[in-house]
Structure 1
Amino acid sequence: MGGNCNLFMVGSVSKVKPNREAKGMSEQKGRRKLIDQGKVVLLAVSLTAGSLLAWNGLSGGSQGATPVYAAEQGAVMENTIAVQGTGKLSVTPDIAYINAGVNVKAKTAKEAQAGAAKRYEAVRKVLKDGYGLADKDLKTTGYYVQPQYTYTEKEGQVLTGYTAVHEIRISWRSIDKTGTLLDSLGAAGANQIGGVTFDTEKKDQYENDALKKGLENARSKAEALAVASGRTLGPVINITENGAQVQPAVLEMMQKSTASGADQSNTSVEAGEVDVQAQLTVVFQLK
């Protein structure tokens, strides 16, 4: 038979035995091919290893990140400066949030609920008719009825009655009359005042103003560093907002006696100012 093989007979069956020389040549060619492929792989690794290491060092090897060649990254880092800017301002509050409520105790839950409803209606009437507040300015924040107990060694836990509570949040915009409103709430039957928070309804506007001041602050720092390093400050390359927020003012209350010296007193409220702060990181080009 033709080809690189030997034909031999075993009994009545014939088998083809591959030529050892041909097989050896084939294996040798396969090894040379693998070696050549390995050289290509090693060459590719050697060319990219430096850039990959540089990128991993900068990005922490985060998944999904786009690789940057070391030469390009180095050039960018050498000609930029990153600084953090802070913008602060204080503004006059334009709204107060007052937490108030009625708390009534009675022998039965029904009596407690009825008493709380009556008290709350009196408070609501003063707020709407006396101060002209709209429904949107009154929000119920809590309502519950719960049993009250006393404990003695002889009788153990004994039910003594029930408490009904109705809590509301009042949005109040006449800041200079906040003390007068608090006095009216007490007179109408509100026996819970949970506190007053002075805030602003112009948060977006003031936060944007604080961010602008933060950018000015960052530019001032960058210019000082550029001059100190003998360079010139270039345009902004990147801005990252780290946060902007309005910090409401907490109520401080005191009782002030009337001029007549009578037993009555007026609540005096100091609204203070609302603080706004913003932080951002700015990258500038250096020339």
Structure 2
Amino acid sequence: MTVRSPRWSVALPLALAWAAPLMAQEAPAPSHMLAGTRLDVVASGEVSAVPDIATIGAGVVTQAPTAAAAMAENAQRTAATVAAIRKAGVADRDIQTTSVSLSPQYRYAENLPPAIVGYQASTRVSVRFRDVRKAGPILDSLVAAGANQIDGPTLSIDKPEPLLDQAREKAVAAARARAALYARAAGLQVKRIVAISEGSFEPMPIVRPMPMMAMARAEKAADTMIEAGEQKIAISLSVTFELM
């Protein structure tokens, strides 16, 4: 009597033969095992620089009995303010309208619904100064032109990348020095760097300018001044070493 093998007994080896190359391709490569001792170090590097960009918000707020009158007056005073900014040498790319708003003003009385007594219009413009020393006098001219809200400044560095690279170099040097210290304490030597991971950075002010507020004045007073101070740029690194 002849005994026949089931069809699946032949199909299964063939299926495995086809799947083997795919499994070999998809299988993750084994991670490299350290022959020595692993050391993880967190180090930072920092540099200081004088900010060369000042960003300030200038606003015009107007009130009138009607919405149209409030917006019209606001548009006129805002146009004069922006013209003063351009006249001072600020480029168009550094002038940006950030908000325009119109809202009713109410009068409240007991046992009566709120009554609209007028409207308030507001326009805000963000101005970026590339010469921080000129920012103060320009602000005074903005107030004279019609701006009645000033806030800021936000100080920053225009091109921080070269400074960031210096901070990175200092961070790596600090990590190497710390790894060497641990290695000596443990009776080992630093063989190599296995991995480097960079964290985020934020410029941190070392000297903050005093809060500034500008107001229209009937008599001549001291000009508004902005002191740039310094900013600290720091980079944090996580570095993995192999010690032998």
The bucket for the TM-score relative to the shorter chain is 0.7 to 0.9
Amino acid at match of 1:138: I
Q: How many percent identity over aligned positions? A: 33
Query: Does residue 223 of structure 1 match 2:180?
Result: yes
- Render the CA deviation track for 1:195-236: whole Å, top value 9, x for unaligned: 210001112222222222111111111111111111122222
2:47 & 2:226 partners in 1: Cα distance? Answer: 22
Correspondence for 2:114 = 157
* 1:26-175 paired onto structure 2 within 5 Å: 66=28, 68=30, 73=33, 76=34, 78-129=36-87, 131-175=88-132
C-alpha separation in 1, matches of 2:160 and 2:46 = 13
Aligned-residue RMSD, C-alpha: 2.4
TM-score normalised per structure 1: 0.68
Q: Which amino acid aligns with 2:123?
A: H
User: For residues 82 and 182 of structure 1, what CA distance do their matches in structure 2 show?
Assistant: 50
Which ranges of 4 or more aligned residues in structure 1 deviate by more than 3 Å?
64-69, 247-251
CA distance in 2 between partners of 1:182 and 1:217 (Å): 43
Task: Provide the rounded CA distance (Å) in 2 between the counterparts of 1:89 and 1:152.
Answer: 59
Rg comparison, structure with higher value = 1
Could you tell me which residue of structure 2 aligns to residue 44 of structure 1?
Answer: none
**Structure 2: 5+ residue runs without aligned partners?**
3-25, 214-218
CA deviation string 1:136-162 (max 9, x = no partner): 110000001111112110433010111
Partner Cα separation in structure 2 for residue 187 and residue 263 of structure 1: 12
Tell me the SS of whatever aligns to 1:265: coil
Tell whether 2:199 aligns with 1:242.
yes
> Which structure carries more relative contact order (alpha carbon 8 Å, separation 6+)?
2
1:208 paired residue number:
165
Deviations 1:166-192 (A, max 9, x none): 101001011112221221111111101
**3-state DSSP class of the match of 2:202?**
strand
1:41 alignment counterpart: none
Structure 1 residues 126 and 96: CA distance shift in structure 2, 3 A: same
Native 8 Å contact 1:210 1:276 kept in 2? yes
Residue by residue, what CA displacement relative to the aligned partner does 1:94-140 show, whole Å, maximum 9, x if unpaired?
100011110001011110111111111111111112x1111111000
Q: Could you report, residue by residue, the CA deviation over 1:30-51 in whole angstroms, capped at 9, with x for unpaired residues?
A: xxxxxxxxxxxxxxxxxxxxxx
**Greater percentage in helix:** 1
User: Contact 2:151–2:212 (CA<8 Å) still a contact in 1?
Assistant: no
Point out the structure with the larger strand share: 1
User: Distance in 1 between the 2:202 and 2:35 partners?
Assistant: 31
Residues 207 and 246 of structure 1 are in contact (CA less than 8 Å); yes or no, is this contact kept in structure 2?
no
Partner Cα distance (1:112, 1:283) in 2: 63
Q: Whole-Å Cα distance in 2 between the matches of residues 213 and 242 of structure 1?
A: 14
Distance, in Å, in 2 between the alignment partners of 1:126 and 1:263 is 19
Unaligned runs of 5+ in 1: 4-63, 256-261
Count of paired positions? 215
2:98 maps to amino acid? T
Name the residue aligned to 1:283: 240
Q: Which amino acid aligns with 2:231?
A: V
Corresponding residue of 1:179: 136
One-letter amino acid of the structure 2 residue matched with residue 205 of structure 1: P
TM superposition score normalised by structure 2: 0.80
Match of 2:190 in 1: 233
